[in-house]
Amino acid sequence: MPDLFVGLAGIERVLLSIAFVFIAAAVSRWQSSDLEKDLAIATVRSFIQLIAIGYVLELVFEMNVPVFTVAILLVMITIGGRTSGNRAKQTPNGALVAFLAIGIGSGLTIALLVVLGVFDFVPKDIIPIGGMIVGTSMTTATLVITRLSSDFYDQRGLIESKLALGATSRQASLTQFQRAITGAMTPIIDTTKTVGLIKLPGAMTGMILAGASPLEAVQLQIIVMYMLVGAATFTGLIAAWLTYRQFFSPAHQLVLES
């Protein structure tokens, strides 16, 4: 097994970085925000999870077996679907909606990247890229599902009035549908607009710190940004459509739990 912590660039710097967590916890304690427990759990979990996945990926990269690559992607999608589904309490079949939206959106994006020849289907390319895609898809799905579900409950009277006047379920809920997608897509669109001006994104920063030239890092970052926009768009549309379907009967009646 390789040593994940090498010299000063390793364990010492990791331990020093934990100081920021202690500072955040101290500020939380001082302001009575009660975040200390969550910060501690998040810090310990992230440390264990990242170390574990580091060893797993090292093994998978060495073996280079496609079925293991697919298995890891499925695990990512499943966890993402469960996490997003836990937020969709108001949505019937919320966990299934989240899983399908993330799975289809992520799968379509990864498939296009491979078919178009942007990346080869090898673990060292697909797993890191897949992780970014699934993460973005999860965030988008959560925002769309929760916003659309909330709007259906909050604006029930408005939607039912439109239905009573002869509108179809699609027509009656079009405004809510559009708002949910717009709200979910706005953060990634704004990030894409300002990339390179406000911040240097993770992929680019990582490559520069690893010794790559800035122009090589820029090339990869452009690919990453555009693929994440695509993943968010696919997932957002799928999540909105699936969520919308949960709230209307075949007879175009709004169905809400009391």
The residue whose two tokens read 């999608």 is 77
Q: Side chain identity at 186, as an amino acid letter? A: T
CB 97, CB 91: distance < 8 Å: yes
Q: Which residues, in sequence order, are bridge partners of residue 38?
A: none
Q: What is the pLDDT of residues 190-201, one digit of tens each?
A: 988 888 776 667
CB 173, CB 141: distance < 8 Å: no
Last residue of a domain, one of 31, 63, 95: 63
Could you tell me which of 188, 193, 215, 194 has the C-alpha nearest to residue 204?
A: 215
Q: Side chain identity at 21, as an amino acid letter? A: V
Calpha distance 223→13 (Å, rounded)? 30
Could you tell me which of 58, 140, 68 has the C-alpha nearest to residue 102?
A: 140
Low-confidence residues of the chain: pLDDT under 70: 1-10, 198-200, 258
Q: Are residues 36 and 25 in the same domain?
A: yes
Beta-carbon count within 10 A of 107 CB: 19
Calculate the alpha carbon distances from 191 to 44, 106, 186, 187, 195 in Å.
Answer: 29, 20, 8, 6, 6
Q: What domain count does the chain have?
A: 2
The answer as to whether 114 is a domain residue is yes
pLDDT value of position 199: 66
The answer as to whether 138 is a domain residue is yes
The answer as to whether 148 is a domain residue is yes
Q: What is the pLDDT of residues 80-138, one digit of tens each?
A: 999 999 998 889 999 999 999 999 999 999 999 999 999 999 999 999 999 999 999 99
The answer as to whether 97 is a domain residue is yes
pLDDT value of position 51: 87
pLDDT value of position 159: 94
Last residue of a domain, one of 11, 42, 63: 63
CB 219, CB 208: distance < 8 Å: no
Domain that holds residue 47: 1-63
Q: Are residues 103 and 199 in the same domain?
A: yes
Calpha distance 85→172 (Å, rounded)? 25
Q: Side chain identity at 247, as an amino acid letter? A: F
Last residue of a domain, one of 13, 47, 63: 63
pLDDT value of position 200: 67
Calpha distance 254→252 (Å, rounded)? 7
Q: Are residues 172 and 209 in the same domain?
A: yes
Could you tell me which of 138, 155, 65 has the C-alpha nearest to residue 103?
A: 138
pTM for this model (two decimals): 0.84
Would you state the structure tokens that stand for residue 198, as one six-digit string?
Answer: 């406000």
